[in-house]
Amino acid sequence: MYANEIVICTNDKETSEEKLGQWTRALDRRGMRVSRTKTEYLNAGNGMQRNGSISLGGERVQRVKGFRYLGSTVQEDGGSEAEVAKRIQAGWNRWRKVTGVLCDRRVNAKVKGGIHKAIARPAILYVLKDTTLTKTQERTLEVSEMRMLRWWRRERMRNR
């Protein structure tokens, strides 16, 4: 039995260590244990001191600036740059899977647009619909999508 992606939210270092200790003891009673090497903490607010550290059983817990939780990237500064970059990469990965169709001159442009809307765009926008984006991040998403669309339209352009 495994318990992954557990989050403990507190306002100060002492409460964090206390809750982590309680969690560790509760798991021990049930025959499970917390991996000391995989346990990390993120200081997402001003409640804890920026230079403080948390310990678990006398060992220091690694501090990170961002981590994945339930499929989304959580960053220390509350931003979403890492999530936007990840979604753009996911869109390109999906796009590459259908390049055979998108780059085929015999396939109608309308069909290609439909394929893009059905495959690449949802991969990019997945998770981001619930994320607050800056204007710069919105522009980055638009530029990435336009690059995908231009890629398969280039085949129709001829040198003069």
Task: Give the pLDDT of residue 158.
Answer: 52
Decide if 86 contacts 110 (C-beta within 8 A).
Answer: no
CA 82/CA 151 separation, integer angstroms? 25
Helices 81-97 & 135-153 angle (0-180, nearest 10): 10
Sequence letter at residue 78: G
pLDDT at 49: 53
C-alpha dist (Å) from residue 100 to 31, 121, 148, 153, 154 = 51, 18, 14, 14, 14
* pLDDT above 90: percentage of residues in the chain: 2
Q: Which residues contact 38 (CB under 8 A, 6 or more apart)?
A: none
Q: For the segment 61-107, what is each residue's pLDDT rounded down to a tens digit?
A: 888 888 777 777 777 777 788 888 888 998 889 888 888 887 788 88
Structure tokens at 43: 């200081």
Which tokens hold the place of 3?
């318990």
Going from N- to C-terminal start, the domains of the chain cover 13-75, 81-156
Question: Does the predicted TM-score (pTM) go above 0.75?
Answer: no
How high is the mean pLDDT of the chain?
79
Q: What is the mean pLDDT of residues 19-41?
A: 84
Q: Are strands 59-60 and 55-56 parallel, antiparallel or unpaired?
A: antiparallel
